[in-house]
């Protein structure tokens, strides 16, 4: 299991990105008491201003996109930011930043991780 912890600018949030052969170890590490054997990715809100996103070795771009939506929503919820369909620039910028950061991190781990 490999992890990378980052601070998300402006939003006072920390994100830990985890790559693991499977997510069962993630369930144990973060005391989830959940069977994650059939999952390829998961996002966890630690409720302390930090989030965890974990990907199995079989992650795909669609997994990154899917989890970025959860991350963005947790961040907005934690800072009491309402989603606004008429003014969504902050949401779009955050989504793009998160995707790019996670994608580049996983892409650089190409020997251990498959991105399709």
Tell me the C-alpha distance between 75 and 62, whole Å. Answer: 20
109 or 112, which is more confident? 109
Residue 114 lies in a domain: no
Query: What does the mean pLDDT of the chain come to?
Result: 88
DSSP type of residue 1: -
Region 26-39: mean pLDDT is: 86
Q: Using 50, 70 and 90 to split pLDDT, how confident is the model at 114?
A: very low
**Looking at the 3D structure of the chain, how many domains does it have?**
1
Residue 81's domain comprises 2-108
The SS3 call for residue 8 is: strand
Render pLDDT for 67-81 as a digit per residue (tens, 0 to 9). 999 999 999 999 999
Q: What is the predicted pLDDT for the residue at 110?
A: 58
């Amino acid at each position: 299991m490999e992890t990378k912890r980052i601070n998300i600018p402006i939003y006072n949030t920390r994100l830990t990105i985890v790559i693991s052969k499977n997510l069962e170890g993630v369930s144990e590490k973060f005391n989830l008491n959940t069977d994650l054997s059939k999952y390829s990715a998961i996002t966890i809100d630690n409720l302390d201003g930090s989030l965890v996103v974990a990907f199995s070795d079989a992650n795909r771009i669609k997994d990154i996109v899917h989890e970025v939506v959860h991350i963005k929503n947790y961040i907005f919820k934690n800072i009491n930011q309402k989603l606004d369909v008429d003014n969504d620039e902050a949401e779009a910028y955050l989504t793009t930043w998160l995707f790019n950061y996670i994608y580049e991190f996983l892409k650089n781990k190409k020997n251990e991780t498959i991105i399709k």
